[in-house]
Amino acid sequence: MITSYSRELMLGIPQGTLIDLETTGLDADHDEVVLFGYIQGSRLGIICRNSEEEVPFISQLAELVPTLPRPFYAYNLSFEKGFLRAKGIDIEGIDLFQPWKEKAEALYLKWPKLDELFSHAEHYFNEPVISGRDVPLLWQRFLHTRDGNYLQQIIRHNESDLLRELYLLVYYRDSYKSR
Protein backbone atom coordinates (compact mmCIF):
# COMPACT_ATOMS: atom_id res chain seq x y z
CA MET A 1 0.00 0.00 0.00
CA ILE A 2 2.82 2.43 0.85
CA THR A 3 6.33 2.95 -0.48
CA SER A 4 8.60 4.73 1.98
CA TYR A 5 11.98 6.37 1.66
CA SER A 6 14.14 8.05 4.28
CA ARG A 7 17.66 9.24 4.83
CA GLU A 8 19.68 11.17 7.34
CA LEU A 9 20.80 14.61 6.22
CA MET A 10 24.01 16.41 7.13
CA LEU A 11 21.95 19.30 8.51
CA GLY A 12 18.44 19.68 9.79
CA ILE A 13 15.70 21.66 11.44
CA PRO A 14 16.15 22.22 15.20
CA GLN A 15 12.44 22.88 15.73
CA GLY A 16 9.39 21.98 13.66
CA THR A 17 8.79 19.96 10.50
CA LEU A 18 9.15 20.90 6.85
CA ILE A 19 6.40 19.30 4.73
CA ASP A 20 5.65 18.93 1.03
CA LEU A 21 2.83 17.10 -0.77
CA GLU A 22 2.56 15.67 -4.27
CA THR A 23 -0.95 15.45 -5.68
CA THR A 24 -2.87 14.44 -8.79
CA GLY A 25 -3.82 18.07 -9.45
CA LEU A 26 -4.44 21.47 -7.88
CA ASP A 27 -8.04 21.09 -6.68
CA ALA A 28 -8.09 19.98 -3.04
CA ASP A 29 -11.76 19.01 -3.27
CA HIS A 30 -11.35 16.63 -6.22
CA ASP A 31 -7.69 15.66 -6.62
CA GLU A 32 -5.81 13.18 -4.46
CA VAL A 33 -2.66 13.16 -2.35
CA VAL A 34 -0.07 10.78 -3.79
CA LEU A 35 2.91 11.50 -1.53
CA PHE A 36 3.76 13.15 1.79
CA GLY A 37 7.36 14.25 2.30
CA TYR A 38 8.84 15.82 5.41
CA ILE A 39 12.06 16.78 7.17
CA GLN A 40 12.06 16.39 10.94
CA GLY A 41 15.36 17.15 12.65
CA SER A 42 17.94 15.78 10.22
CA ARG A 43 15.70 13.00 8.89
CA LEU A 44 14.08 13.28 5.49
CA GLY A 45 11.09 10.97 5.18
CA ILE A 46 8.77 10.29 2.28
CA ILE A 47 5.72 8.07 2.16
CA CYS A 48 4.13 7.43 -1.21
CA ARG A 49 0.99 5.57 -2.19
CA ASN A 50 1.44 2.54 -4.38
CA SER A 51 -2.26 1.75 -4.57
CA GLU A 52 -5.14 3.36 -6.40
CA GLU A 53 -7.05 3.48 -3.10
CA GLU A 54 -6.37 6.79 -1.31
CA VAL A 55 -8.21 6.14 1.97
CA PRO A 56 -5.61 3.83 3.64
CA PHE A 57 -2.87 6.32 2.75
CA ILE A 58 -4.82 9.22 4.26
CA SER A 59 -5.42 7.11 7.40
CA GLN A 60 -1.65 6.72 7.78
CA LEU A 61 -1.17 10.46 7.29
CA ALA A 62 -3.85 11.16 9.91
CA GLU A 63 -1.79 9.10 12.38
CA LEU A 64 1.61 10.54 11.36
CA VAL A 65 0.91 14.27 11.08
CA PRO A 66 -0.15 14.85 14.73
CA THR A 67 3.11 13.23 15.91
CA LEU A 68 5.34 15.60 13.93
CA PRO A 69 6.91 18.55 15.78
CA ARG A 70 5.45 22.03 15.28
CA PRO A 71 5.62 24.47 13.64
CA PHE A 72 5.08 23.14 10.14
CA TYR A 73 6.97 24.85 7.34
CA ALA A 74 6.01 24.60 3.66
CA TYR A 75 6.53 26.50 0.45
CA ASN A 76 3.03 27.78 -0.36
CA LEU A 77 1.58 26.41 2.88
CA SER A 78 -1.98 27.13 1.74
CA PHE A 79 -1.64 24.31 -0.82
CA GLU A 80 -0.65 21.74 1.83
CA LYS A 81 -3.23 23.08 4.29
CA GLY A 82 -6.00 22.93 1.71
CA PHE A 83 -5.31 19.36 0.65
CA LEU A 84 -4.83 18.08 4.19
CA ARG A 85 -7.95 19.90 5.42
CA ALA A 86 -9.96 18.34 2.57
CA LYS A 87 -8.79 14.95 3.91
CA GLY A 88 -9.74 15.80 7.51
CA ILE A 89 -6.26 16.77 8.73
CA ASP A 90 -5.83 20.34 10.02
CA ILE A 91 -2.44 22.00 10.23
CA GLU A 92 -1.06 25.47 10.83
CA GLY A 93 2.41 26.67 10.09
CA ILE A 94 4.82 29.09 8.50
CA ASP A 95 4.74 29.73 4.77
CA LEU A 96 8.22 29.81 3.23
CA PHE A 97 6.64 31.36 0.13
CA GLN A 98 5.30 34.49 1.89
CA PRO A 99 8.45 36.69 1.89
CA TRP A 100 9.12 35.87 -1.77
CA LYS A 101 5.51 36.59 -2.68
CA GLU A 102 5.70 39.97 -0.90
CA LYS A 103 9.01 40.85 -2.56
CA ALA A 104 7.65 39.94 -6.01
CA GLU A 105 4.53 42.05 -5.42
CA ALA A 106 6.63 45.03 -4.28
CA LEU A 107 8.65 44.77 -7.51
CA TYR A 108 5.55 44.12 -9.67
CA LEU A 109 6.79 40.67 -10.60
CA LYS A 110 4.85 37.42 -10.77
CA TRP A 111 5.03 35.19 -7.72
CA PRO A 112 8.04 32.86 -7.91
CA LYS A 113 7.74 29.11 -8.11
CA LEU A 114 10.26 27.14 -6.06
CA ASP A 115 11.91 26.02 -9.32
CA GLU A 116 12.41 29.68 -10.25
CA LEU A 117 14.19 30.53 -6.99
CA PHE A 118 16.51 27.54 -7.21
CA SER A 119 17.33 25.81 -10.44
CA HIS A 120 18.48 22.21 -10.69
CA ALA A 121 22.02 21.30 -11.69
CA GLU A 122 20.43 19.26 -14.48
CA HIS A 123 19.33 22.51 -16.17
CA TYR A 124 22.95 23.50 -16.67
CA PHE A 125 23.60 20.25 -18.53
CA ASN A 126 20.28 20.38 -20.45
CA GLU A 127 19.13 17.21 -18.72
CA PRO A 128 15.46 16.56 -17.92
CA VAL A 129 14.04 17.55 -14.55
CA ILE A 130 10.81 16.21 -13.06
CA SER A 131 8.53 19.04 -11.96
CA GLY A 132 5.34 19.09 -9.93
CA ARG A 133 3.39 19.36 -13.19
CA ASP A 134 4.76 15.92 -14.16
CA VAL A 135 3.46 14.15 -11.04
CA PRO A 136 -0.14 13.49 -12.20
CA LEU A 137 1.06 11.87 -15.44
CA LEU A 138 3.75 9.84 -13.64
CA TRP A 139 1.10 8.66 -11.14
CA GLN A 140 -1.25 7.61 -13.95
CA ARG A 141 1.58 5.76 -15.70
CA PHE A 142 2.40 3.95 -12.47
CA LEU A 143 -1.22 2.92 -11.94
CA HIS A 144 -1.45 1.67 -15.53
CA THR A 145 1.89 -0.20 -15.68
CA ARG A 146 2.77 -0.83 -11.98
CA ASP A 147 6.34 0.16 -12.95
CA GLY A 148 7.98 1.39 -9.74
CA ASN A 149 10.30 3.66 -11.72
CA TYR A 150 7.41 6.12 -12.05
CA LEU A 151 7.01 6.25 -8.26
CA GLN A 152 10.76 6.71 -7.87
CA GLN A 153 10.61 9.76 -10.15
CA ILE A 154 7.85 11.27 -7.99
CA ILE A 155 9.86 10.52 -4.83
CA ARG A 156 13.02 12.02 -6.34
CA HIS A 157 11.13 15.18 -7.29
CA ASN A 158 9.73 15.51 -3.76
CA GLU A 159 13.15 14.97 -2.20
CA SER A 160 14.55 17.74 -4.40
CA ASP A 161 11.74 20.10 -3.38
CA LEU A 162 12.24 19.34 0.31
CA LEU A 163 15.99 19.98 0.10
CA ARG A 164 15.50 23.28 -1.71
CA GLU A 165 12.85 24.31 0.83
CA LEU A 166 15.28 23.37 3.61
CA TYR A 167 17.82 25.71 2.05
CA LEU A 168 15.24 28.52 2.07
CA LEU A 169 14.44 27.84 5.71
CA VAL A 170 18.07 27.62 6.86
CA TYR A 171 19.72 30.30 4.74
CA TYR A 172 16.91 32.87 4.94
CA ARG A 173 15.86 31.98 8.49
CA ASP A 174 15.51 35.63 9.55
CA SER A 175 12.80 36.10 6.91
CA TYR A 176 10.55 33.68 8.81
CA LYS A 177 11.14 34.64 12.46
CA SER A 178 8.40 37.26 12.82
CA ARG A 179 5.77 35.37 10.83
pLDDT of 45-63, one tens digit each? 999 999 999 999 999 999 9
Query: Is 178 a residue whose pLDDT tops 80?
Result: no
Query: Is 133 a residue whose pLDDT tops 60?
Result: yes
Q: pLDDT value at position 119?
A: 81
Report the chain's mean pLDDT, rounded to a whole number.
93
What percentage of the chain has pLDDT greater than the value 90?
80
Q: pLDDT value at position 115?
A: 82
When mean pLDDT is compared across 11-20, 111-120, 151-160, the lowest value belongs to 111-120
What's the whole-number mean pLDDT along residues 76-89? 97
Q: pLDDT value at position 177?
A: 67
Cβ proximity of 77 and 94 under 8 Å: yes
Q: pLDDT value at position 164?
A: 93
CATH topology of domain 2-175: Nucleotidyltransferase; domain 5 (3.30.420)
- Strand-pair partners of 28: none
Surface-to-core class of residue 52, CB atoms within 10 Å of its CB (0-12 exposed, 13-18 middle, 19+ buried):
exposed
What are the boundaries of each domain within the chain?
2-175
